[in-house]
Structure 1
Amino acid sequence: MTTPYDPDNVFAKILRGEIPAHRVYEDADTLAFMDVMPQAEGHTLVIPKAPSRGLLDAEPASLAAVMATVQRVARAVKTAFEADGLTIFQYNEPAGGQTVFHLHVHILPRHAGVALTGHTGRMADPDRLAEHAARIRTALADG
């Protein structure tokens, strides 16, 4: 049996403004912000505003909105970080690697020959995250 959605998960708190985040894009259905424990410079997350634990319980319209935002933000991330490519991933349930139980998609800019760092549990420098968010917002605006 799947565990129900927890409205007190960290991403729900970010959506409600209870926890700060370095936001890069927002529309009526989605929010994109910097991962505080990035695996690459520019590591960005996209979440739906509608509550869903993961891919399997999300409404199709919510999934469509998330993927449209992933594409838009991924283009900006690739430009902002002059990346050679991108890695996009999404985890479901603990066995699948999910640790925050609100649907989210990771966008990581990639450079040839540069490995991703692991999740160390250490938070990135907030000033650095703010600078990365600004670069992505600029790329979005230049569109």
Structure 2
Amino acid sequence: MAHVDSDCIFCKIVAGEIPCAKVFESETCMAFLDIAPVNEGHALVLPKGHYPTLMDIPVEMGSDLLQALSVVGKAVMEATGADGLNLMQNNYEAAGQLVHHAHYHLIPRFSDDGLRLWEQTPYKDPDEMNRLAAKIVKLVK
């Protein structure tokens, strides 16, 4: 059985101690509607075990999570009539993670919803990008 954190709200939801609007459940994953949605139909998909961030989720769970994200994503789009779907996953508070149990946001999007993603800016110096890429490559294990 996967680790459970008794202080974690998502672990309590998985255990049935806190109610949710569940939309999917498998042996390893669960999905439910977010109580404060960006758009109606905004769902959270998470591993049932307690893993604080994406980097803590065992690689072996990848297939189960991808299956859940695909199935729930398709259902959310169809149920809401969405024109698109954002998949978001935040790690650590600096990135906007509020609950320290790894989870993915499936956010239905509509052509006229007015939501904007963050702005992007190109590297000022292509050598800077290449230096950073080389540094990352050395750290990839």
Shorter chain as denominator, the TM-score bin is 0.7 to 0.9
Measured on the aligned residues, the alpha-carbon RMSD in Å equals 1.6
Matches within 5 A, 1:10-21: 10-21=9-20
Q: Determine the C-alpha separation between the residues in 2 that align with 1:116 and 1:16.
A: 34
2:62 aligned partner = 63
Aligned to 2:111: 112
Q: Is the 8 A contact 2:25 2:31 kept in 1?
A: yes
The 5 Å alignment of 1:22-41 reads 22-41=21-40
CA distance in 2, matches of 1:112, 1:44: 19
Percent identity over paired residues:
39
Superposed, which structure 2 residues align to 1:1-143 within 5 Å? Answer: 6-116=5-115
Tell me which amino acid in the other structure corresponds to 1:32: A
Paired position in structure 1 for 2:129: none
CA distance in 2, matches of 1:91, 1:27: 23
Q: Deviations over 1:42-62 (max 9, x none)?
A: 000001012200101110122
TM-score between the two structures when normalised by the length of structure 1: 0.74
Q: Deviations over 1:61-119 (max 9, x none)?
A: 223311210111000111111111001100000111101000100001111021349xx
Q: Structure 1 stretches of 5 or more lacking a match?
A: 118-143
Q: Which runs of 4+ in 1 moved over 4 A?
A: none
Larger radius of gyration: 2
| TM-score in terms of structure 2 length | 0.75
Please state how far the C-alpha of 1:6 moved relative to its aligned partner: 4.1
* Equivalent residues, number: 113
In structure 2, stretches of 5+ residues that fail to align are 117-141
